[in-house]
Structure 1
Amino acid sequence: MPTSGSIKGLVERLEDGETVIVAEGYLFELQRRGYLKAGAYVPEVVLEHPDLVKNLYREFVHAGSDVVLAFTYYAHREKLRLIGREDDLEKLNKTALRMAREVADETGTLMAGNICNTNLYLKDDPDSISTVQSMFKEQIEWAVEGGADYIVGETFGSLGEAMLALQSIKEHGKGLPAVITLATHLYEIEGECATNDNVSMSDACKQLQDSGAAVVGVNCTRGPKTMIPVAQCIKNKCTIPVAALPVAYRTTDKEPSFQSLTDPQTGKRVFPINLDCTQCCQDDMIEFGHQCKDLGLQYVGICCGNSSSLTRSLAESLGRQPPASRYSPDMSKHYAYGTHPSLKKFNTEKLVKHL
């Protein structure tokens, strides 16, 4: 069952000025572990290795996530059709949602349903719009049935599809709050990032706000360095809580999205399987957390490339001490670099010079 009456809900937390931390990035993390195929990125692992998914839910909460986001990203009808598993659509969604609800109940966290970009949306095409609406409807209804506390609609390149997602959540979500985030690609209008249907990100988020979203913002595609300026523009225009969930890769002004990143040694494009050489470190996420706090962003997290250690660093930068903080680095007892008075050192000074 949803958390109403037991723990504070999303909207209540935000209205009280709290920051909500949301760990995402299941696709890339499970691909990195060898349980998900890059390309179609369909979360078959939910059916084939459900315990791995459930444990990752737990890991991210242990690291500081306030929310268990059900792993139904790309678990929509079109993606399942591409790999010939459309018959497994309902089972996959319900399994991911059930496990997310169980972990949320175990840990006293929120559980969110998830819908996303469909790759089918075509503006002014009634058949396309109807198909997308139908796909959103079934996933939203399963999320409601599965006990979601709110629903995330994310990674939309166009305002049109994001608006369809919001309208579908309002129509079929039984009053659950909607968090809607856009993905910034390489489109611009007068120097500001824009959607692929030619609306500035700030204007797009303002329209989503005015249409009833509880949270608006950006996720995926951009790393912390190139997402913060986009979030700033949105924050300047919107009056509701703003979200920022970057990928965990070191994007730059020259290469602002992780799809555009190149290997600093070879110059070759690294997306999607050679991104490791551009991976953010824990200090990057600490800096990102401080920037989010300075900007007053209330819904923050990490998308593709996330790991538990990065989520922990983000949480700690926001003043949290999640369970994983018990294992945060402490070099005071390191055999060579340690400074703890109880540490016995033998020729340490000589050793350090050679390290």
Structure 2
Amino acid sequence: MEHKKRRGILERLNAGEVVVGDGGYVMQLERRGYVKAGHWTPEAAVEHPEAVRQLHKEFLRAGADVIQTFTFYCSDDKLELSGNVTTITGAQINDAACNLAGEVANEGGALVAGGVSQTPCYLKTNSETEVKAIFKKQMDYFLQKDIDFFIVEFFEHVEEAVWAVEVLKSSRKPVAATLCIAPQGDMNGVPPGECAVRLVKAGADIVGINCHLDPLTGVRTVKMMKEGLEKAGLRAHLMVQPLGFHTPECNIGGYVSLPEFPFALETRAMTRWDVHKYAREAYKAGIRYIGGCCGFEPYHIRAIAEELSAERGFLPPGSEKHGLWGAALEFHTKPWVRARARREYWENLLPASGRPKCPSMATPADGYQND
């Protein structure tokens, strides 16, 4: 079925439609050899545009309605800390990233979201003026490319996220604001409900959670945000773009405190069936913008699109090869594999790790407290 016509993000959400976001970029591109681990800065948009373009294309084919610019950690102060500012500037990265996202989005009627993330300047100076100047500079780059809306993402302190929203709202474009926080709240202990209230009062049209913790924890935290907004008599659309990894330890520091971070997280990877469950739980919670962050590969995004295909009214092109719930296995030569071509099998599967000495959980590092 043909992809829906290009309409604005708020127009879609106001109509009650499901908007499927795209997945993670920095971790996926690091695994492919294009991003430096630890720094996670997006100079690959300039150095290796073919790699970024291909990942955009795969997310689009998987069913994404939004293509986000590959501009994570693209403030000049972060680039300077990473040793990139002398060779590749923020202006170059923003320009290349917007061009790539726009090119691919136009192939499928998707929207382009300009991503703005936390800055080293906030923790270093806590200067509202300096931090806002950084956001304003990046916003101006994006506006030159006429992106569709902004996503404020990966903010551990709601105060800084509020500053970002206040700056970006001056563009008169829709603003989504997502925090990488746990159910315990942000790094200053501000509860999720209060965080949501502050973001909406600052002008955010969409609020939610991204990264740091697993999908069902993300949904739980967004529910807390929703409750906070309802108590305050405020309304906003809800979104969630969590990790593609299991983090049952659920500590406030998120996956960066796990011993497997960042080079052994494959052991915690979500299966597509985990993502089916996540997409349904998010939808039941009233969340209509559903995507993923680090660890979410294109097949995970396809799982969201497939789980919510009835609500969306179509399947993505990426589903043509295998059908729903493993239907393509009906043609397998082995009868026990053919028997797996059904929903009940995959929904009830308890996957094994295959690792004889694999612990069920790890002890997170540093001074974060568990639930």
TM-score tier after normalising by the smaller chain length: 0.7 to 0.9
Give a deviation string over 1:194-245, Cα, whole Å, max 9, x none. Answer: 1123311111111211221110011000111322211111122332111111
Q: Please tell me whether the aligned partners of residues 196 and 226 of structure 2 are also in contact (alpha carbons under 8 angstroms).
A: no
Distance in 2 (CA, whole Å) between partners of 1:310 and 1:16 is 25
In structure 2, what is the equivalent of residue 347 of structure 1?
Answer: none
Rg (Cα) greater in structure: 1
Letter of the 1:30 counterpart: L
In structure 2, what is the equivalent of residue 167 of structure 1?
Answer: 166
Give a deviation string over 1:295-352, Cα, whole Å, max 9, x none. Answer: 1101110100111111101111112510000123421111213559xxxxxxxxxxxx
Question: Sequence identity, in percent?
Answer: 31
In structure 2, what is the equivalent of residue 324 of structure 1?
Answer: 318
Letter of the 1:325 counterpart: S
Is 1:202 aligned to 2:201, yes or no?
A: no
Q: Give the counterpart of 1:311 among 268, 281, 301.
A: 301
How far 1:122 moved relative to its partner? 4.1
Distance in 1 (CA, whole Å) between partners of 2:251 and 2:123 is 27
Which secondary structure does the structure 1 equivalent of 2:20 belong to? strand
How far 1:255 moved relative to its partner? 5.2
Structure 1 pair 95–250 and aligned structure 2 pair: CA distance change class (3 A): same
How far 1:151 moved relative to its partner? 0.5
Q: Is the deviation greater in 242-251 or in 232-241?
A: 232-241
Which secondary structure does the structure 1 equivalent of 2:104 belong to? helix
Distance in 1 (CA, whole Å) between partners of 2:128 and 2:76 is 14
Letter of the 1:201 counterpart: P
Unaligned runs of 5+ in 2: 230-234, 340-371
TM-score by length of structure 2 reads 0.82
Distance in 1 (CA, whole Å) between partners of 2:50 and 2:165 is 31
In structure 2, what is the equivalent of residue 250 of structure 1?
Answer: 246
Letter of the 1:78 counterpart: D
Which secondary structure does the structure 1 equivalent of 2:120 belong to? coil
TM-score by length of structure 1 reads 0.85
Matches within 5 A, 1:208-247: 208-238=199-229, 239-247=235-243
Q: Please tell me whether the aligned partners of residues 286 and 313 of structure 1 are also in contact (alpha carbons under 8 angstroms).
A: yes
Q: Please tell me whether the aligned partners of residues 112 and 152 of structure 1 are also in contact (alpha carbons under 8 angstroms).
A: yes
In structure 2, what is the equivalent of residue 266 of structure 1?
Answer: none
Which secondary structure does the structure 2 equivalent of 1:277 belong to? helix
Letter of the 1:301 counterpart: G
Which secondary structure does the structure 1 equivalent of 2:227 belong to? helix
Distance in 2 (CA, whole Å) between partners of 1:215 and 1:89 is 26
In structure 2, what is the equivalent of residue 351 of structure 1?
Answer: none
Give a deviation string over 1:166-212, Cα, whole Å, max 9, x none. Answer: 011022x2x11000011115xxxxxx521123311111111211221
In structure 1, what is the equivalent of residue 362 of structure 2?
Answer: none
Letter of the 2:256 counterpart: Q
Q: Is the deviation greater in 275-284 or in 85-94?
A: 85-94
Distance in 2 (CA, whole Å) between partners of 1:117 and 1:24 is 19
Letter of the 2:301 counterpart: T
Q: Please tell me whether the aligned partners of residues 69 and 101 of structure 2 are also in contact (alpha carbons under 8 angstroms).
A: yes
In structure 2, what is the equivalent of residue 291 of structure 1?
Answer: 281
Q: Please tell me whether the aligned partners of residues 93 and 142 of structure 1 are also in contact (alpha carbons under 8 angstroms).
A: yes
Distance in 2 (CA, whole Å) between partners of 1:100 and 1:58 is 9
Distance in 2 (CA, whole Å) between partners of 1:200 and 1:83 is 32
Distance in 2 (CA, whole Å) between partners of 1:243 and 1:254 is 20
In structure 2, what is the equivalent of residue 37 of structure 1?
Answer: 36
Q: Please tell me whether the aligned partners of residues 23 and 301 of structure 2 are also in contact (alpha carbons under 8 angstroms).
A: no
Unaligned runs of 5+ in 1: 1-5, 186-191, 262-268, 341-355
In structure 2, what is the equivalent of residue 64 of structure 1?
Answer: 63
In structure 1, what is the equivalent of residue 149 of structure 2?
Answer: 150
Distance in 1 (CA, whole Å) between partners of 2:216 and 2:105 is 31
